[in-house]
Amino acid sequence: MTEPNPARPMVRMAAVDKFFGPLHVLKKITLEVPRGQVVVVLGPSGSGKSTLCRAINRLEPIDSGLIEVDGRPLPAEGKELARLRAEVGMVFQSFNLFAHKTILENVTLAPIRVRKLPVAEARKTGLELLERVGIANQADKYPAQLSGGQQQRAAIARALAMRPKVMLFDEPTSALDPEMVQEVLDVMSALAADGMTMLVVTHEMGFARKAAHRVIFMSDGEVVEDSTPQEFFTAPKSGRAKDFLGKILTH
Amino acid sequence: MNVIIDNFPLYVSGFLQTLRICAFAALGSLVLGTVIAGFRVSPVPPLRWVGTAWVTVFRNCPLTVVLFFCAFGLPEIGVNGAYFWFGVTGLILYTSAFVCEAVRSGINSVPAGQAEAARAVGLTFSQSLTSVVLPQALRTVVPPLGSVIIAMIKNSAIVGAFGVGGDLFAVGDTLTSSRGEAVLPVLIGVVLGYLVITIPGGLLLGLLERKVAIAR
């Protein structure tokens, strides 16, 4: 174990390239997610922001470049990679809760199987986490019995159960009915306020404005802007960002 | 039909022998076939090659040839044992290829997001397979696996012919060839014996299918 170094970024990407066949989805991406900060990634559909997020825990392998999490380069497929993923929480657009397990079992599976926690202890922390995201009363239900918002909060609790160093959110509210978006954003804002390091791919401009330390704007596989929310929303530098903001902020 | 009643103990012993062959072969091929299915979806290329080669060989070889290899080929290369185990081994090898493909189709029916989520929380490939993917694959796998196992039970009749003997089909053969009994009533008795295994087996599978159904 290396000592945590506050100066070292939690996530660092340098000159990352990724292709889907002939399609160049990530073009020489270089960015940093500093410890304890919330970085929000914005951009039009197909700009590569989800791929960027999924590349950080190697759900999408990259073609060239460097990705480091807490100072260590991403290992190749195998046990080392599993260990790294255990320390990187991930929340998906479509929740992906384990359909055959109860909500509490979803939250305790990895702590028991990966961290080898005793079942009783894992259940106790699991219930505390479910309490924290406001669905402790749903612990014994199956995912299909919950609303989308509840499922996504359970998915956040599942990721938190591994005590991750950083949380990745891949469009966590895009599959939700409008009235359920807020409850998920509230949980995320609370996490951010607690000092969790987060990278959030989203279309929620309100969240970006309020919770983000930095906003990264992507378009066509490139990082076009990397600035503070204040700067990005009031004085975007690039034409593509102005165009994007013009389309979403007019209504 | 007196022949059935008169030779009832012989039928019972044949029935038990068939049941023994089937019990070992079912257990063996289910375990082996599931492991091979794991190979076929593994991220490690050599394991995938082994899995593919396994299925290609055993699914495309006639069972009689596989049994010939086990019963008469294995002793030639110095593997010795009872014909019973050679026969059971041949049936396991052959059936495992079909079990593998049924299980693999079940694995493919589980949404990719489930395995992604399992990997994202830090489960290794084998952990995500055993605790997330396979339990959900079971639901779609039960009906095709049922067909595979029923085919295996019927194939056990061929195993009996490779020096194993004493099974239901061999009983029929003994009664008609050596003792000169009329073929029809003897074979009706044999058929009843197989049905006693396969029909309750099918009902059991239906029960299992309802039990493992998962709401999505």
Contact A45, A220 (CB under 8 A): no
Q: Does B45 touch chain A (CB under 8 A)?
A: no
> Residue B136 has which token pair?
């959900």
Contact A64, A17 (CB under 8 A): yes
Size of interface A-B (CB pairs under 8 A): 73
Q: Which residue of A has its CA nearest to B139?
A: A100
Render pLDDT for A200-239 as a digit per residue (tens, 0 to 9).
999 999 999 999 999 999 999 999 999 999 999 999 999 9
Separation between Cα atoms, residue B120 and residue B177, nearest integer Å: 64
Separation between Cα atoms, residue B98 and residue B88, nearest integer Å: 16
Contact A38, A45 (CB under 8 A): no
* Closest in B113, B116, B121 to A158, CB measured: B121
pTM: 0.86
Residue A63, classed as helix, strand or coil, is coil
Q: Which residue of B has its CA nearest to A99?
A: B216
| Interface contact B121-A110, CB threshold 8 A | yes
Contact A33, A166 (CB under 8 A): yes
Residue B3 has pLDDT above 90, yes or no: no
Residue A3, classed as helix, strand or coil, is coil
**pLDDT reported for residue A1:** 46
Q: Does A144 touch chain B (CB under 8 A)?
A: yes
| Interface contact A113-B123, CB threshold 8 A | yes
Query: What is the average pLDDT value for chain A, to the nearest integer?
Result: 92
Q: Which residue of A has its CA nearest to B43?
A: A77
> Residue A6 has which token pair?
């506050």
Residue A6 has pLDDT above 80, yes or no: no
**pLDDT reported for residue A157:** 96
Render pLDDT for B141-194 as a digit per residue (tens, 0 to 9).
998 999 999 999 999 999 988 877 788 888 888 888 888 888 898 899 999 999
**pLDDT reported for residue A212:** 94
Burial B94-129, CB ≥16 within 10 A → b, else e: bbbbbbbbbbbebbeebeebbbbbbbbbbbbbebbb
Give the domain ranges of chain B: 2-215
Q: Which residue of B has its CA nearest to A156?
A: B121
ipTM of the complex: 0.90
Q: Does A49 touch chain B (CB under 8 A)?
A: no
H helix runs in chain A, sequence order: 49-55, 79-86, 103-113, 119-132, 148-160, 178-193, 205-211, 229-234, 239-249
Q: What are the residues facing A200 on neighbouring strands?
A: A40, A169
> Residue A36 has which token pair?
């304890």
Render pLDDT for B62-73 as a digit per residue (tens, 0 to 9).
999 999 999 888
Class of domain B2-215: mainly alpha
Site from B107, B121, B212 to mutate, A interface, most A CB atoms within 10 angstroms: B121
> Residue A145 has which token pair?
């019995």
Render pLDDT for A132-155 as a digit per residue (tens, 0 to 9).
999 999 999 999 999 999 999 999
Separation between Cα atoms, residue A77 and residue A88, nearest integer Å: 15
Separation between Cα atoms, residue B46 and residue B49, nearest integer Å: 5
Residue B216 has pLDDT above 80, yes or no: no
